[in-house]
Chain A
Amino acid sequence: MSADRFGDLDDVDIEERLRLFARNSRTPPLPEEIQALPWTVQLEQRPRRILGFLPDAWFSLDSLRSPALAVMRLAATLAVAVAFVALVTQARSRTGSADYLLAPPSPGASVPGVPGAAGAAPEVVLVPTSGVVDDVMADHVAGAIRKAESDKAAVVVIQLDTLGGSGAAMQRIVESLYADVPTIVWVGPSGAKAASAGTFITLAANLAYMAPSTNIGAASPVAANGSDLASVYGQTEADKVMQDAIATITGIAQHRHPLAVAWAVSTVQSARSYSAQDALDAHAVNGLASSVNDVLSQVDGQTVTTTAGETVIHVKDANVVTVNEDAFQAILHTLDDPNIAFMLLVIGVLCVLVEFFHPTLLVGLTGALALALSFYGSGSLPLNILGVVLVVLGIVMVVLETGVPSHGLLTAAGLVIFLVGAVAFYGSPGPYRPDVSVAWPIIVTMTVLAALYGLVLVRTLMSMRRLAVPAGSGMVGTVNPIGEGGEVQADLSPLGTVFVCGESWTARAADGRSLPRGTMVRVIRQEGLTLVVEAAGTPERAAQ
């Protein structure tokens, strides 16, 4: 600090001072191993291994701590997963339907009766459906109807049991029902529902039958004396979607029977649900049928108008061919299950967050895939945005426990938020949307799992934090160096550096004297980040 006595300085002074200072600053010797020329320089030949880059990739992933990079990596992972799902969906719509499962390569060559030739037994195509009305169901139904048309089947019977689903998919099914082949919807077996979007589908078929003790109409039936409620519901919900739905169902119902129109509108506008007998009385369906055979015996001989013109149905001694979803459709259809969409979201968010804190490609990829599948599945479900946000927030809070020491408070709060979000995960059904919610056992299971995760996390972290401070090591603010011995590193004149507890501290001598480098000292007290020391006896100048 000897040069600190200059007064006002101009450029020249500063330059002069720099020159002096630079001239007087020496250069430490270059270490032997660097000075000892020459080196040999070798390009290391890496053995060519398949997947040999993996350890490198692993290492580099591990060393990428910067949040920006983590976010970019996550985005890339998400993009890959979304691209994968898009590809799969695309591939599915290419193959389109279940055709190839049933139609042999040379159609009609080996299956008798398929071309519908006179004398051969007529063919009835039975299409069993269940679950949410979604694109998978639309593909399935449309594909089966196309097959029936090309096979010249006598009729297509769609067995329906649904709580509703996506309006767009419903529209596709309704359109495919106007076909060259007579279409029949049978709501069955007993206990089945044709709710929300299912009502539209039922009414759109050429002929509709319901099994006894089945329901048709809105997803959420109003109370018996609920006329007030119905009118209130009608007013508050009279938005564009509702108007559009009313227009759609009016068009569909007019095809069926003029008397059915008012009835059909009431299922949408007042959210009313009707029994099979009510629907029959309202001319909304053509009859009650307890089984597919019952349906066939009732439709035999009836005349219907298809896009090919008036057709008389002949299904005596018909050969019933069942067109099921193919395995892939079945899997995709399962994604629409409200519980599965929920679980996929939870798993996805959890994995993505874990990936964020502990980067391993696999977990992130799994999470992104689960998220993408969850989004795909929930496309036909009435997601409640608030519920989704709460669920995600809850998970984030539980995982944040890793980074923010809160002694489990974050986990507890996160769990409560998660629980609330899970209960409110699905919102009010629209005209098409099903009335669904996440099953209680699943909510409880997921919450308990999240709680366990949080507990393990907290316990592990606590033990790690205990381990992280071994006795005597000098973490600033945690270890008290008072009483410890040390050595002067830079002269105390009066301020300098001492080496105590394995690290350098700024220090001054207690009596204000200057102590030279190498003096052994003892720490008396700490003032902020400065240690006050006294000479500890040994060397030459230690007088005290």
Chain B
Amino acid sequence: MFVKEAYLPARPAPAPGEAAETGRAIDAVFVTALEAELGMAYRLAGYLLADSAEAQDAVQEASVRAWRGWPRLRERDRFHAWFSQILVNVCRTRLRQRSRRRTVDVDEVDLEGGDPFRASLARDAVGRALSVLSDELRIVVIMRFWGDMPLAEIAERLGIPVGTVKSRLHAAMQALRRRIGPMEGGIA
């Protein structure tokens, strides 16, 4: 409980022998695999959390978890699926924690603040309306459209049936339409 994990970025990879005290060296296969994921991961986390700083934290946390789980990963060609699953879990945890501690709806108050993700979402009414969705609905929408994931993949990542993904998407669309409908035609 009191053991703190320190994520120390930007340190040169330790030479194989040197890394003894930190546990083990980071191997090149892992680095290559992870580097390929980072861009999409940041995009997903960013639009899901609508906060670049938190998205960076989420990506980093997911990376660290992946690294720690790496020795246990048998099928290394499934790294993409495995990593995005970790990332989604990290983001969901963060959303849950945030809803517990947040009192002011940031998305409502500070739509066009400095954050690039929030600014990007705020460009369109449909983006702004996303904030009314519940976390469970929003995560499906973001994965579907920003992550370009097919329904089956979303279902697998979230651990829910495909039918549930469909119904959640539908519910999200309806909620968005209800939200956007009356605002159409004027400047929000």
Contacts and interface: CB of A to CB of B under 8 A. Distances in A.
Nearest to A504: B113
A37 B187 contact: no
A460 B23 CA distance: 52
Contacts of B151: none
Interface stretch (A300-308, A438-446, A490-498): A490-498
Contact of B10 (A25, A39, A52, A497): A39
A1 B177 CA distance: 16
**Which 10 A-B pairs rank lowest in CB-CB distance, beginning with the nearest?**
A22-B145, A27-B43, A38-B26, A28-B116, A11-B173, A25-B120, A22-B146, A30-B42, A40-B11, A33-B9
Contacts of B43: 27
A467 interface: no
Contacts of B56: 30-31, 34
Given A4-B185, A5-B184, A15-B173, 15 more contacts: A1-B125, A3-B125, A4-B184, A4-B188, A11-B173, A14-B176, A22-B146, A25-B47, A25-B127, A30-B42, A39-B8, A39-B60, A40-B11, A40-B14, A495-B187
Interface in B1-49: 2-11, 13-14, 19, 22-23, 26, 30-31, 34-35, 38-39, 42-43, 46-47
B2 A40 contact: no
Nearest to A497: B112
A46 B22 CA distance: 14
B112 A41 contact: no
Given A27-B39, A27-B43, A30-B59, A36 B5 contact: no
Interface string A21-61: 11001111011111111111111101000001100100000
A7 interface: yes
A46 B4 contact: yes
Contacts of B116: 28
B154 interface: no
B59 to A, nearest CB: 6
B58 to A, nearest CB: 11
A14 B59 contact: no
A168 to B, nearest CB: 47
Nearest to B176: A14
Contact of B184 (A7, A30, A497): A7
A327 B19 CA distance: 65
A18 interface: yes
Contacts of B125: 1, 3-4
Given A9-B180, A27-B39, A34 B121 contact: no
Contacts of A2: 124
Contacts of A26: 120
A496 B112 contact: yes
B64 A44 contact: no
B123 to A, nearest CB: 7
B126 A18 contact: yes
Interface of A: 1-11, 14-15, 17-19, 21-22, 25-28, 30-44, 46, 52-53, 56, 489-490, 495-497, 504, 506
A42 B184 contact: no
B184 A11 contact: no
B10 A36 contact: yes
Nearest to A503: B113
A11 B117 contact: no
A56 B120 contact: no
Contact of A490 (B7, B30, B119, B124): B119
Interface residues of B, number: 64
B6 A504 contact: no
Interface of B: 2-11, 13-14, 19, 22-23, 26, 30-31, 34-35, 38-39, 42-43, 46-47, 52, 56, 59-60, 63-64, 67-68, 110, 112-114, 116-117, 119-121, 123-127, 141, 145-146, 170, 173-174, 176-177, 180-181, 183-188
A477 to B, nearest CB: 15
Nearest to A32: B10
Contacts of B39: 27, 30
25 contacts: A11-B170, A14-B126, A14-B176, A18-B126, A21-B126, A25-B47, A27-B46, A28-B117, A30-B56, A31-B56, A32-B10, A34-B60, A35-B38, A37-B35, A38-B13, A38-B31, A39-B7, A39-B8, A39-B9, A39-B60, A40-B11, A40-B26, A41-B7, A43-B5, A46-B2
Contacts of A506: 112
Contacts of A18: 126, 141, 145, 176
Nearest to A9: B177
Contacts of B26: 37-40
B138 to A, nearest CB: 12
B10 A33 contact: yes
A72 to B, nearest CB: 15
A504 B177 contact: no
Contacts of A42: 6, 8, 22
